[in-house]
Amino acid sequence: MVRGQPGPVLTRAGVVGSPVAHSLSPVLHHAAYAALGLGDWSYDRTEVPAGGLGRFVESLGPEWVGLSVTMPGKEEALALAQAAGGSATAVGAANTLVRRPEGWYADNTDVDGLRAALLEAGLEDARRAVVLGGGATARSAFVALQGLGVRVVEVLVRDRLRPQTAQLLESLGLDTHVRRLADGIPLDAAEVVLSTLPGGTPAPPVRDGGAHRPVAMDVGYAPWPSPFADAVAEATQGRVRVVRGTRMLLHQAARQVELMTGREAPTPAMDLALRRALEGRAPR
| Residues that are catalytic | 74
3-state secondary structure of 178: strand
Asked if residues 217 and 245 have their Cβ atoms less than 8 Å apart, the reply is yes
Name the region of 267 (left: φ>0; alpha: ψ -120 to 50; beta: rest): alpha
Asked if residues 162 and 135 have their Cβ atoms less than 8 Å apart, the reply is yes
- Please name every residue paired with 12 in a beta bridge, in sequence order, or none if there are none: 42, 64
DSSP 8-state code for residue 62: T
3-state secondary structure of 101: coil
Sequence-separated (6 or more) residues with CB below 8 Å from residue 245? 217, 218, 219, 220, 221
* CA 124 and chain centroid, separation: 20
Radius of gyration of the chain (CA): 19
- Using alpha carbons, list the distances in angstroms from residue 113 to 48, 158, 180, 235: 23, 25, 27, 28
